Amino acid sequence: MNPNFGKVPKYLEKYNKAAEVKQEEVKRRQEEALRCPPGTKLMPEEDRLKTLTDLKENKKTVTEMLNKMPISMKTQAMQRTQKELEDKLLEIERAIGVMSKKQ
């Protein structure tokens, strides 16, 4: 008789192990998806870091624009522009806070 008779072939062991790993990965992703609020998904790390960098650049730009505005705001248009820039800056800071949290 063949000494390997009744044993599972190596290629099938590799196939079964790969299938288990794939199934565990799917299960892990499903668990992560359940932790996310409805209507959202988990952002890949590299996208999160790129978005964070872009937000910081936008914050710098908006801050520079605010600093270049005159101290005395006499016209309504200038006051409105200042308010819009301040609101945008607050929104950017909130987004930076959200993107800074690592999952």
pLDDT given for residue 89 in this prediction: 96
pLDDT given for residue 16 in this prediction: 95
Q: Determine if the pTM surpasses 0.85.
A: no
Q: Give pLDDT < 70 ranges for the chain.
A: 103
Q: Distance of CA 51 to CAs 55, 83, 89, 90, Å?
A: 6, 25, 16, 16
Q: How many CB atoms lie within 10 A of CB 96?
A: 15
Q: In the numeric block, which tokens belong to residue 46?
A: 């590299």
pLDDT given for residue 40 in this prediction: 77
pLDDT given for residue 103 in this prediction: 64
As a whole number, the mean pLDDT across the chain is 90
pLDDT given for residue 91 in this prediction: 97
pLDDT given for residue 59 in this prediction: 97
pLDDT given for residue 3 in this prediction: 85
